[in-house]
Structure formats: structure tokens, C-alpha cells
Amino acid sequence: MTRKIKTVISYTVEQCDSCTELSKRKFLSGDYIFKIVSKCPSCNGEIRITKIFGETITP
């Protein structure tokens, strides 16, 4: 019997409060929900972390 090893990669979704522009990036240590990350390049609104999730990759 063989067991497949699954790898989980964590991602962070960031969203602008004003124009609702979304971006997805790899999770960084210190990320948490509702953290203000930066200013939006489109509208100068605040970009917040709205979601942290993992995707499973099977080799």
C-alpha cells in the first residue's frame, strides 16, 4: 500500500475597500484577515486581506 503525499500551498486574497479590485498571492508570515496591506493603485483606497486559504497539490 502506497500513500500519496499531498502538499498544501497557502494563499492570501487582497481586496480594495473602494473599487473591490482583487488580487491573490502566496501567504506571508504575519498575514491575517482584515489587515490593511497597502493603497490601491487604481483608486487610492485601502487594500485589505479578505481571505486566507490553502490549495492541495498532489504530485
* pLDDT of the residue at 6: 87
Say if 34 falls within a structural domain. Answer: yes
42 grid coordinates: 487604481
Helix, strand, coil abundance in the chain, percent, nearest 5:
0, 55, 45
* pLDDT of the residue at 3: 75
pTM for this one?
Answer: 0.82
Say if 22 falls within a structural domain. Answer: yes
Say if 43 falls within a structural domain. Answer: yes
Per-residue pLDDT at 15 exceeds 90: yes
Say if 42 falls within a structural domain. Answer: yes
Say if 2 falls within a structural domain. Answer: no
Instruction: Name the DSSP letter for residue 53.
Output: E
Number of domains in the chain: 1
pLDDT tens-place string over residues 23-52: 999 999 999 999 999 999 999 999 999 999
Say if 27 falls within a structural domain. Answer: yes
Residue 1 bridge partners (DSSP): none
Say if 25 falls within a structural domain. Answer: yes
Containing domain of residue 43, as a range?
A: 7-57
